[in-house]
Structure 1
Amino acid sequence: MNLHSVPSTLRPESSAVETQSEPFKEPAADGFILGGFTWRHTLVDAMRPVVIINAATSVRCRHYSRFADYLFANGFDAITYDYRGIGESRPTSLKGLQASWTDWGALDFEAILKRAQREFPDQPIDVVGHSFGGCAAGLGASGRVIRRLVTVGAQFAYWRDYAPAHRWRMFGKWHLLMPLVTRVCGYFPGKRLGWLEDTPAGVVSDWSTPTARYERRPSGRAIYARNGRLPFASVTAQILAISLSDDPYGTIAAIERLLSYFTGSTNTHLRITPEDIGEEEVGHFAFFRSPYQATLWPIALSWLQNGELTPDTPGRRVPRS
């Protein structure tokens, strides 16, 4: 993979939002207006869970609309949304926008958690987090309300955790070139380069800082200094962490590094190879693409429904260290 091309299985899927969804606007605590979509059943049922889908860094929420359709068809209500600076939550200009990874979790995800509690009162709240979206799930002050959490390739981009075959190329791309371009432009022009969405400078700073601890990332330091701790421990959800063996970001070390922050939760780490599902490659983004509806999506569905894996689930459980 060179610096200017990304294989199709590693790219987000461009997806139109289906007609059963409705758009919404939601203010975060600091007044920033977030945009997203809701899949809502007509009949209210306090037993029906609502699932919030947290996107990966610089991936639009529309990438997950077909997966939200699938959850809706299987009896869930669902919410997708964009973090500030991305997609439905993008202002006219990203130059000067104050937005960091911690803002995406502590402000944006927190706002959507509160919206779910308000719009779906008394219903269980589950979360699906892709890549950084799994980290964002631990940054909301109301994280204790999450019943179940499914993460896919979830980590916070520590470069030594990248797959060895890709590590130095990825380090050059994301930890050297991306911050350099951001410094010149005032934001990262990812769309122009074919590298995901345009990205706020604060997010780039968090992503590119080469430290193994989230509380040592720029915005992680800020929230840790304010509160003397990170919010992850307040999450008591049953966690299923799914990783793919050909995901260069989501190595076992990367997944376990993030899971170690969720000290109040029980977790299961499921490692899947493409061969387990009869494929040649899956990568970092393809889990949420519709061709994997029959092979990968039922794994997340089973966990959201029952908090457990079925006996025929592909892959292997990673032993707890």
Structure 2
Amino acid sequence: MEQVAERGPSTTKRALASDAEPIDIRCRDGVVLRGHIWRAAGGSSCGNVIINPATGVLARYYHYYARFLAERGFDVLTYDYRGIGLSRPPRLRGCSYRWRDWGELDFDAALIAMHERNCELPLLVVGHSIGGFLPGLSDHAGLIDRMLTVGAQYAYWRDYAAAHRMRLVWKWHIVMPVLTAVFGYFPGKRLGWLEDLPAGVANEWSFRGARMERSHPVPERGDVIARFDAVEASILAVTVSDDDIGTAAAVRRGLSYYRHAEVAQAALEPSDFGLDAIGHFSLFHARHAAGFWLDTVLWLRDAVNPWPQRRDAEALATLPG
């Protein structure tokens, strides 16, 4: 079998955006996000796809996948959240942007923008890591028809893989908040730990507990839950057995908020793709174009689960405490 070590986004060759259309997305608080539209080949689209990145990952990391989907008949939006990549302000120090802003404001604006392009087309979301959880924070998430999530979770530390838990806790829940306090933002790029993060995002990650809504003020918690309840989309949630962050337990915890969605889980193994390792990032590497990427088209275009036999046996189990 081919041996493939896990690599983060910063080490992967990225597609150029020369064949995509730059787009500005204005959020309701006035913040402007920047991204790209990848138009369906042949000019006739079978659906609008929004790709939500993982935390600290540039939108351009997903450009190869976006172009792949466009070549198969989708209009695709890639965009950077506020504070990241093309949407980074001139000064990040002291920036108050939060994770919740990425869902309530950024994704919400992206969702409206794609819906307004052609409201007759299915509205589809591909969410990686936190990008698969953020949609439930949008006031307009009820517009979503289908979602594909990959390792989607909100980084509750007890859900990290047991063998890696202490290392990840040290990295993301001790070192990150200390450096964020010192610099006024998290200097992840200079450490080789993904991209720099606004202080609000870094701290929300570091200090989030078992219940996501408890990171919101008490008067707002009911509204947060109601927004997730409004999501009635079909969700196919992918986990990979060697993902030390997006474990099956972590994904189940996140999915428990989508109480009115039709949810299926696919528990994949590296061996399903002839590999020894995949981890948290690898499924968006171009090496998966003929395998995982092609499989995802079945779900996005036809609502067909390409891995029905790989259902998570514990999908309906009680969540860990």
Given that 1:130 and 1:151 are in contact with CA atoms closer than 8 Å, whether structure 2 keeps it comes out as yes
Structure with higher helix content: 2
8 Å CA contact retained: 2:40, 2:71: no
Question: Aligned pair 1:85/2:83, yes or no?
Answer: yes
1:269 to 265, 268, 278: 265
Relative to structure 1, the CA distance from residue 213 to residue 68 in structure 2 (aligned partners, 3 Å threshold; closer, same or farther) is same
**Residue 166 of structure 1 aligns to a residue in which SS?**
helix
Equivalent AA in structure 1 for residue 231 of structure 2: V
Query: Cα deviation per residue 1:128-159 (whole Å; 9 max; x = unaligned)?
Result: 00000001121111001101100000000010
The one of 151, 171, 174 equivalent to 1:173 is: 171
Is the contact between residue 242 and residue 269 of structure 1 (CA under 8 Å) also seen in structure 2? Answer: yes
Question: Which amino acid is the alignment partner of residue 91 of structure 2?
Answer: S
User: Is 2:5–2:277's contact at 8 Å kept on the other side of the alignment?
Assistant: no
**Distance across 1 between alignment mates of 2:90 and 2:309:** 44
Letter in 2 for 1:98: S
Checking the alignment, whether the CA contact within 8 Å between 1:175 and 1:210 is kept in structure 2 is no
Alpha-carbon contact 2:64-2:286 (below 8 Å) kept: yes
Q: Which residue of 2 aligns with 1:38?
A: 37
- After superposition, give the CA deviation of every residue in 1:202-223 in whole Å (9 maximum; x if it has no partner): 0011101141111112xx3478
Match of 1:318 in 2: 312
Query: 1:223 and 1:137 mapped to 2: Cα distance?
Result: 21
CA contact (8 A) 2:42 2:73 kept: no
Letter in 2 for 1:20: D
Give, in whole Å, the separation in 1 of the partners of 2:290 and 2:143.
30
Give the one of 239, 242, 251 matched to 2:238. Answer: 242
Matches within 5 A, 1:281-320: 281-310=277-306, 313=307, 316-319=310-313, 320=315
- Farther-moved stretch of structure 1 (111-120 vs 183-192): 111-120
CA shift, 1:120, in A, is 2.6
- Give the match for residue 21 of structure 1: 20
Q: Which residue of 2 aligns with 1:254?
A: 250
Contact 1:224 1:230 in 2 (8 A): no
- Structure 1 Cα separation of the partners of residues 219 and 154 of structure 2: 16
Q: How does 1:43-82 map to 2 (within 5 A)?
A: 45=44, 48-82=46-80
Q: Structure 2 CA distance, aligned partners of 1:136 and 1:26?
A: 17
Task: Kindly state the Cα deviation for residue 27 of structure 1 after the two structures are TM-superposed.
Answer: 1.0
Instruction: Determine the C-alpha separation between the residues in 2 that align with 1:253 and 1:244.
Output: 12
Partner of 2:227: 231
Asked if 1:9 is matched to 2:6, the reply is yes
**Structure 2 segments unaligned to the other structure (5+ residues):** 317-321
TM-score, normalised to structure 1, is 0.92
Gaps (5+ residues) in structure 1?
A: 1-6
Instruction: Give the Cα separation in 2 of the matches to 1:293 and 1:287.
Output: 9
Q: 1:301 to 1:221 in 2, by over 3 A?
A: farther
Shift of 1:229: 3.2
CA–CA separation in structure 2 for the residues paired with 1:303 and 1:165 = 32
Contact 1:56-1:132 within 8 A present in 2 as well? yes
- The 1:275–1:44 alpha-carbon spacing in structure 2 relative to 1, beyond 3 Å, is closer
Distance 2:27 2:274 in 1: 43
2:149–2:238 CA contact under 8 A, matched in 1: yes
8 Å CA contact 2:41–2:72 kept in 1: the answer is no
User: How far apart in 1 are the matches of 2:132 and 2:225?
Assistant: 18
- Which secondary structure state, in structure 1, belongs to the residue aligned with residue 133 of structure 2? helix
Please say if residues 276 and 315 of structure 1, whose CA atoms lie closer than 8 Å, have aligned partners that are also in contact: no
- 1:193 counterpart residue number: 191
When the two chains are superposed, the root-mean-square deviation of aligned CA atoms in Å is 1.9
**Secondary structure of the structure 2 residue equivalent to 1:37:** strand
CA distance in 2, matches of 1:260, 1:139: 14
Matched residue, 2:110 = 112
**Cα distance in 2 between the residues matched to 1:230 and 1:222:** 14
One-letter identity of the residue aligned with 2:225: R
Q: Deviation of residue 8 (structure 1)?
A: 5.6
CA distance in structure 1 between the partners assigned to 2:219 and 2:104 by the alignment: 9
- SS of the equivalent of 1:296 reads helix
Offset of residue 48 of structure 1: 1.9
Number of equivalenced pairs: 310
For the residue of structure 2 that corresponds to 1:240, the secondary structure is: strand
User: Percent identity over the alignment?
Assistant: 44
Asked whether the 8 Å contact 2:59–2:78 carries over to 1, the reply is: yes
Instruction: Identify which of 125, 132, 136 aligns with 1:138.
Output: 136
Equivalent residues of 2:126, 2:132 under 8 A apart: yes
For residue 98 of structure 1, report the CA deviation from its aligned partner: 2.0
Q: CA shift at 1:17, angstroms?
A: 2.9
In 1, distance between residues paired with 2:79 and 2:218?
A: 25
CA contact 2:98–2:198 (8 Å) conserved in 1: yes
Is residue 133–residue 154 contact of structure 2 (8 Å, CA) maintained in 1? yes
Query: Distance in 1 between the 2:214 and 2:53 partners?
Result: 23
Q: Scaled by the length of structure 2, what TM-score is found? A: 0.92
Report deviation, 1:19.
Answer: 2.8
Q: Is the 8 A contact 2:156 2:250 kept in 1?
A: yes
